[in-house]
A and B are shown apart, each in its own frame.
Chain A
Amino acid sequence: MGLAILLGMFAGAVVIGVPVAFAMGIAAASAFWYEGFPLLITFQRTMSGISVFALLAIPFFVFAGEIMLHGGIAIRLVRFAGALVGHIRGGLATVNILSSMLFGGISGSAIADISALGSILIPVMKEKGYHADYAVNVTVTSSIAGIVIPPSHNMIIYAVAAGGGISVSKLFLAGVVPGVMMCLCLAVAAYWIAVRRNYPAEPFPGWVSVAKTGAIAIPGLITAVIIVGGVLSGIFTVTESGAFGAIYAVILTSVFYRTLGWKEFTIALTSAVRTTAMVMILIGFAGAFAYLLALYQVPDKLSELLLGISSKTWMILLMINLMLLVLGMIMDMAALILICTPIFLPIAKDLGMDPIQFGIMMLVNLGLGLCTPPVGTCLFAGCAVGRIRIEDAVKSIFPFYLAIFVALILVTYVPAVSMTLPALLGE
């Protein structure tokens, strides 16, 4: 009965539109009350859910991403990517994907990626004769790279949701190959459509231009090197490297690039506060919610249910992926990481899957959910930037979905895709 109250209250509150974080809080408080626990426990769990040292990295990553967004890093990366791959057929799409890989790798945010790169590239692509739906779809789907390629604050959320026993540096390393591979799959899909629609190629500007634009873009890319390198080398903790990366980004964009004024700084700061608050309150209430899921043995029960349907590992992983895909269509990423990790991770572990591989699989899967209707935050943002209707965008998005799905399948069934780099670098 307690479990029914927990899940029923949560589902009911979410369906009528109560913010997901508060829906979790309300459901947890109701279940605690039903079980006869003091109500204070709900809020103690919420407070202790937030008071985790590793979580301090989230505001730093988010702030660094906002500084990148408002501080003029994106345009330099686009110029570099344009010089490097713009001469390929449908070159601007490849530029878009490469820029997402570079920028997303620094900012760790899909929405920041769309806002920064979409607002630069979508108008240019339309001007050069690319259809608006194509420009939007490339921008939206490639933005997921920001979630998978380190540093990514979603990886920290996953590490915390998994109970804190997972190495963030391992997650960082594990995300590199799947992120690059996903971008390659997207580039193939984009090229295939470009050939079919006869999109143009840009003239190759020469290696001198590539070197020049690269030299200008490299200081921006160093932000990611500081964050990821600092963690991997053991010089910094994740939190310290996040703070150091944010400070470096502020100095770079304000002193060297001179594109970050007081106005841009305050916009970045307040925007980072909003995102941080939204994520942290989710984590707080998810702490109380996850405690009850464990109390009611939900992972064990679901595991039994799935094993009752099939005992084959590949089939159970497929079912988990399908469930995540469906949930990803209606709910946002951070909330789903916090809700689904305590439920599905024990099952994946029982099946012999490494928690690191499972985390990357979950990030790719839920990333796809950000691009799918009816609730796709990235799709909505991309359509808003590209000024087209969602119905028009989704008509031609399927090759891109397929590309990400291929990457998802590889991450799910080929452990080497995500686990080779952590193993090679001795983490």
Chain B
Amino acid sequence: MSNSLTFVHRIEGWLDLLSKLCLIICAVALATLVATFGWLVWGRYVMNVTPTWVEQLGLLLVGYIAFLGAAVGIHEQFHLSVTLFRDAFGPKMTGIWRFIIDIILASFGGVMFVAGLELFAFGWETMLPMLNIPESFRTLAFVICGALIAIFAGFRAVFRVIYWKNGETYPDPVHHEEA
């Protein structure tokens, strides 16, 4: 194996770890979401006290699940795509299309990151009701999502080029789509 491919595998390992970390954060957020809503129902009907902060916390957590999960989706390539046309012209063209898609996604991730930073700064003075933390904490998920998309898609585009130079095709993961 060439040095460049060894380098790719090492970086890929770090990216996998980053993606897994995001997935764990999302899983903890989802488990917390379920538990807090269980607490909401329990509080309302058994203890006769409705914990009003649950709904706002829920909206905050679902933002993290959505945006960090979406970034994981870019890494694992599980987002819904129309692959019919992309795959219609043979493996070589498919590889080129995939490279272009990665560049587009990395650029869009960059735009999300920059715009997200502006939103982050904009929301610092506004407090989330019931939680009393800055609105920016909600935007933070979006900023991280943009950065991660740029990183995941950008590195993959670079890896594709390195694989091509070594006469190999980048091994894309199998899709797992949901309906």
A residues contacting B by CB (< 8 A) are 13-22, 25-26, 29, 39-40, 42-44, 46-47, 50-51, 53, 55-56, 59-60, 63, 109-111, 147, 236, 239-240, 242-244, 246-247, 250, 266, 269-270, 272-282, 284, 330-335, 370, 374-375, 377-378, 380
Interface flags for B8-34 (1: CB within 8 Å of A; 0: not) read 000000000000000100110011011
Q: A53-B59, A274-B178 are in contact. List 8 more A-B contacts (CB 8 A).
A: A14-B81, A19-B81, A39-B115, A50-B62, A242-B37, A274-B76, A277-B70, A277-B73
Task: Tell me if B104 and A18 are in contact (CB < 8 A).
Answer: yes
B82 at the interface (CB under 8 A from A): yes
| A17-B97, A63-B34, A275-B178 known; A281 vs B73 contact (CB < 8 Å) | yes
Task: Tell me if B30 and A56 are in contact (CB < 8 A).
Answer: no
B132 at the interface (CB under 8 A from A): no
B102 and chain A: residue at smallest CB distance: A18
Question: Nearest Cβ distance between residue B22 and chain A, in whole angstroms?
Answer: 9
B177 and chain A: residue at smallest CB distance: A377
| A20-B82, A43-B112, A281-B73 known; A51 vs B138 contact (CB < 8 Å) | yes
B63 and chain A: residue at smallest CB distance: A50
| A240-B37, A273-B65, A277-B73 known; A18 vs B81 contact (CB < 8 Å) | yes
Roughly how many angstroms separate A278 CA and B76 CA in the complex, as a whole number?
12
Interface flags for B149-175 (1: CB within 8 Å of A; 0: not) read 000000000000000000000000000
Roughly how many angstroms separate A274 CA and B74 CA in the complex, as a whole number?
11
Task: Tell me if B27 and A247 are in contact (CB < 8 A).
Answer: no
Task: Tell me if A277 and B58 are in contact (CB < 8 A).
Answer: no
B79 and chain A: residue at smallest CB distance: A19
Roughly how many angstroms separate A339 CA and B23 CA in the complex, as a whole number?
28
| A40-B119, A243-B41, A270-B27 known; A47 vs B63 contact (CB < 8 Å) | yes
Task: Tell me if A17 and B86 are in contact (CB < 8 A).
Answer: yes
B92 at the interface (CB under 8 A from A): no
| A17-B82, A370-B179 known; A269 vs B37 contact (CB < 8 Å) | no
Contacting residues, chain B, for A243 (C-beta < 8 A): 33-34, 37-38, 40-41
Interface flags for B40-73 (1: CB within 8 Å of A; 0: not) read 1100000000000001001100110111111011
Contacting residues, chain B, for A39 (C-beta < 8 A): 111, 115
Question: Nearest Cβ distance between residue B16 and chain A, in whole angstroms?
Answer: 14
A112 and chain B: residue at smallest CB distance: B178
Roughly how many angstroms separate A92 CA and B59 CA in the complex, as a whole number?
44
- Of B59, B98, B122, the residue contacting A51 (CB under 8 A) is B59
Contacting residues, chain B, for A332 (C-beta < 8 A): 80, 177, 179
- Of A44, A269, A272, A330, the residue contacting B84 (CB under 8 A) is A330
Roughly how many angstroms separate A14 CA and B84 CA in the complex, as a whole number?
10
- Of B27, B68, B70, the residue contacting A266 (CB under 8 A) is B27
Task: Tell me if B179 and A50 are in contact (CB < 8 A).
Answer: no
Task: Tell me if B101 and A50 are in contact (CB < 8 A).
Answer: no
A-B contact count (CB 8 A): 196
Interface flags for B102-120 (1: CB within 8 Å of A; 0: not) read 0011001001100110110
Task: Tell me if B115 and A40 are in contact (CB < 8 A).
Answer: yes
Task: Tell me if B23 and A59 are in contact (CB < 8 A).
Answer: no
Task: Tell me if B72 and A331 are in contact (CB < 8 A).
Answer: no
Roughly how many angstroms separate A44 CA and B115 CA in the complex, as a whole number?
10
B78 at the interface (CB under 8 A from A): yes
Task: Tell me if B98 and A43 are in contact (CB < 8 A).
Answer: no
Roughly how many angstroms separate A14 CA and B80 CA in the complex, as a whole number?
10
Task: Tell me if A56 and B63 are in contact (CB < 8 A).
Answer: no
Task: Tell me if A277 and B65 are in contact (CB < 8 A).
Answer: yes
B6 at the interface (CB under 8 A from A): no
Which residue, B37, B40, B65, B138, has most C-beta atoms of chain A within 10 A?
Answer: B37
| A240-B41, A243-B34, A374-B84 known; A16 vs B100 contact (CB < 8 Å) | yes
A56 and chain B: residue at smallest CB distance: B58
Roughly how many angstroms separate A18 CA and B111 CA in the complex, as a whole number?
16
A240 and chain B: residue at smallest CB distance: B41
Roughly how many angstroms separate A111 CA and B81 CA in the complex, as a whole number?
16
Contacting residues, chain A, for B101 (C-beta < 8 A): 16-18
Task: Tell me if A17 and B34 are in contact (CB < 8 A).
Answer: no
Contacting residues, chain A, for B40 (C-beta < 8 A): 240, 243
Contacting residues, chain A, for B112 (C-beta < 8 A): 43
Contacting residues, chain B, for A277 (C-beta < 8 A): 26, 65-70, 72-73
Roughly how many angstroms separate A21 CA and B70 CA in the complex, as a whole number?
10
Roughly how many angstroms separate A109 CA and B37 CA in the complex, as a whole number?
22
Roughly how many angstroms separate A202 CA and B66 CA in the complex, as a whole number?
46
A154 and chain B: residue at smallest CB distance: B179
Roughly how many angstroms separate A93 CA and B138 CA in the complex, as a whole number?
48
Roughly how many angstroms separate A370 CA and B33 CA in the complex, as a whole number?
30
Contacting residues, chain A, for B31 (C-beta < 8 A): 269
Question: Nearest Cβ distance between residue B26 and chain A, in whole angstroms?
Answer: 4
A19 and chain B: residue at smallest CB distance: B79
Roughly how many angstroms separate A278 CA and B68 CA in the complex, as a whole number?
11
Roughly how many angstroms separate A332 CA and B78 CA in the complex, as a whole number?
13
- Of B69, B85, B116, the residue contacting A274 (CB under 8 A) is B69
Roughly how many angstroms separate A280 CA and B79 CA in the complex, as a whole number?
11
Contacting residues, chain A, for B105 (C-beta < 8 A): 18-19, 22
Task: Tell me if B69 and A276 are in contact (CB < 8 A).
Answer: yes
Contacting residues, chain A, for B58 (C-beta < 8 A): 53, 56, 239
A274 and chain B: residue at smallest CB distance: B78
Task: Tell me if B30 and A111 are in contact (CB < 8 A).
Answer: no
Contacting residues, chain B, for A60 (C-beta < 8 A): 33-34, 37
Roughly how many angstroms separate A94 CA and B84 CA in the complex, as a whole number?
33
